[in-house]
Chain A
Amino acid sequence: MAHQKPAPRPINRRQFLGETAQMLAASSLIAMGLMGYGKHSHALPATALRPPGALPEEDFLGACIRCGLCVRSCPYNTLKLAQVGDDIATGTPYFIARDVPCEMCEDIPCIPACPTHALNHDLKKIDQAKMGLAQITDQSACIAFLGLRCEVCYNVCPVRGKAITLERQHNARSGKHALFIPVLHFDACTGCGKCEEACILEEAAIKVLPIALAKGKMQAHYKVGWQEKQQAGQALVTPDVEHQFNLPSGKRYDYYGEGLVDTPEEIAPPFANNPLDSLNQKQEP
């Protein structure tokens, strides 16, 4: 039996063009709708953090195939997949630090579980993760600023002593005590959220923010003089020439408005090399 496959039904040109035009119109409408909706739902809320190793948000949204394998591999049930209506792109993984933070597993099981590169497989050390950046967002609520020794965030931080340090400051209110102020260090903080979870306040005063929100950036042409100097091994600008007064002998210049005066004996100029000394000097009666 020599059976053939059915030949495709011929369609005439008019029909074809009409259909094409209709479809193009409908497609562009759908495209606009989806683009608009996408824009809205791609604005990640500040409380939602991505798993360790997640690519920057724009790339992440193209790479993550919404499979939830990272969620399933997390032993602490930290990660969730966004549901429709969540304000986070549907089906993408996130966690809320105040609810369940990332425990910073040494073997980072969520990363090898990811079948794509949405989670960067090159991240091998969890200390180098950058899920977010912690900040004291409300100094007026943090009780360390009131002079109490809380230090809970400092103590729970898995990168202890590096991401948060305690800086001693004078307690101006009591006059005789010290404040132990938690200070955050961007280079060490992984954004795990342990501190935010642990903050003893009703509403945490320390919060982990998405990097894009928290991180500032200098203009490219800003240079930090002392760093440049260290790199170059020398100053990059011609050093100031020490100003030379050419005064007649036995005269000196009075900086307080007297002008040239006679010098019976050598007096130290009022501006010392160290500006602090000058300031202190002025305070003395």
Chain B
Amino acid sequence: MANPAKEAGLAAIRSKGWWRAHQWLFLRRFSQLLVLGLFLSGPWFGLWVIKGNLNSSLLLNTVPMTDPYILLQSLFAAMLPASTAFIGVAIVLGFYLVVGGRVYCSWVCPVNIITDAAAWLRRRFNFKGKNFSINRHVRYWLLGLTLILASLSGSLLWELVNPVSMLHRGLLFGLGLGWYVILAVFLFDWLLSKNGWCGHLCPVGAFYSLATVVARVRVSADKRAQCDDCMDCFAVCPEPQVIKSALKGADQGISPVIYAANCTNCGRCIDVCAKDVFAFQWQKFIK
């Protein structure tokens, strides 16, 4: 029997204990805050581990890392960057191609903490308001649009309003009125649309979804036979549409591995499942 969304995860806490019902969430928050902390230790304490921001940065004054999506926008604006940026992109893209593009979303992006909080509020207080439902493909349209706009205007138009780079840069360099944009994303997700931003609109997430195609690290519903249909995983997953075929596709011979590009590899389904159906799995290169 399906549990109410408000109680998602309670069964897991009862059967596995608090820690095992929260370990991936904890590790994820740790990773997100660690990334932010490494960036902040410079401006705050003069301890320069990594300089710049998520758009482009320099680790320990040697390793360049550049966000492939911002560079793509710049290329669309017909500007050719220096070689450092290409090396930086190769490093970042290489990493995400292996671990899954949307690992960026659930393990690095600072906006995720905010939209997760909004989703939690929605669940916890049994939000009765409207769910303004948006097609999940809108993000790909927006992604295309940002690139077209870059090339039409010759400038990185999207970066004027992109909440993702805005928040991370703002925390390091000052956000100004950008707080309103972040607040808007939070309120939108909380009051207007469930997982509205990250699950439907964000072009950054859309870009990283595309980078998920060959990912080696995947969530797999290996023990799907044990599923007792509590639906807790659907309640907590920011992209619940990716679970269904892997979890319920045994009859049709569909693999238990979640291959869907939108899965963020957040591992929250692993946490909340009292039956331990899900697990992270390394995909071998040769099948």
Which positions in A face B, CB cutoff 8 Å?
2-6, 19, 22-23, 26-27, 30-31, 34-35, 37-38, 41-42, 58-59, 61-69, 71-73, 80-81, 83-86, 89-91, 113-118, 121
Residues of B within 8 A of A66 (CB): 53, 55, 70, 156, 159, 165, 169
CB 8 Å contact bits of B69-104 with A (1 = contact, 0 = none): 011001001111110110010000000000000000
Q: Which residue of the partner chain, among B55, B79, B141, B177, contacts A67 with CB atoms under 8 Å? A: B55
Residues of B within 8 A of A84 (CB): 166, 170, 175-178, 180-181
Residues of A within 8 A of B56 (CB): 65, 67, 69, 115-116
Q: Please report whether the interface of chain A is mostly helix, strand, loop or mixed according to DSSP.
A: mixed
Residues of A within 8 A of B245 (CB): 6
Complex Cα gap A5–B177 (Å): 45
- Which residues of B, 141-161, contact A by the 8 Å Cβ criterion? 141-142, 145, 148-150, 152-161
A72 contacts B82, CB within 8 Å?
no
7 contacts between A and B (CB under 8 A): A5-B255, A37-B160, A38-B160, A65-B71, A71-B173, A83-B178, A85-B177
A116 contacts B254, CB within 8 Å?
no
A66-B55, A115-B64 given; A91·B85 CB < 8 A: no
Complex Cα gap A117–B75 (Å): 12
Residues of A within 8 A of B257 (CB): 3
Complex Cα gap A66–B69 (Å): 13
A30 contacts B145, CB within 8 Å?
yes
Which positions in B face A, CB cutoff 8 Å?
42, 48, 51-53, 55-58, 64, 66-67, 70-71, 74, 77-82, 84-85, 88, 135, 137-138, 141-142, 145, 148-150, 152-161, 165-166, 169-170, 172-178, 180-181, 245-246, 249, 253-257, 259-260
A19-B137, A30-B142, A69-B56 given; A121·B155 CB < 8 A: no
Residues of A within 8 A of B141 (CB): 23, 26-27
Residues of A within 8 A of B173 (CB): 68, 71, 80-81, 83, 91
Which of B160, B172, B253 has its CB near the most chain A CB atoms (within 10 A)?
B160
A61 contacts B155, CB within 8 Å?
yes
Q: How far is the CB of B242 from chain A (nearest CB, A)?
A: 10
Q: How far is the CB of A51 from chain B (nearest CB, A)?
A: 14
Residues of B within 8 A of A5 (CB): 254-255, 259
8 further A-B pairs in the complex, CB-CB below 8 A; given A62-B156, A66-B156, A85-B177: A4-B253, A27-B141, A30-B145, A37-B160, A41-B160, A65-B70, A68-B173, A84-B177
Residues of B within 8 A of A22 (CB): 135
A67-B52, A72-B42 given; A117·B160 CB < 8 A: no
Complex Cα gap A147–B251 (Å): 96
Q: Which residue of chain B is the closest to A27 with respect to CB atoms?
A: B145
Complex Cα gap A83–B66 (Å): 21
Complex Cα gap A98–B56 (Å): 29
Residues of B within 8 A of A62 (CB): 74, 77-79, 150, 154-156
Residues of A within 8 A of B81 (CB): 63, 65, 115-117
B253 contacts A2, CB within 8 Å?
yes
A83 contacts B174, CB within 8 Å?
yes
> Would you list the 4 A-B pairs with minimal beta carbon distance, nearest first?
A83-B176, A62-B77, A3-B255, A85-B177
A62-B78, A117-B80 given; A86·B160 CB < 8 A: no
Q: How far is the CB of A99 from chain B (nearest CB, A)?
A: 14
Residues of B within 8 A of A71 (CB): 173
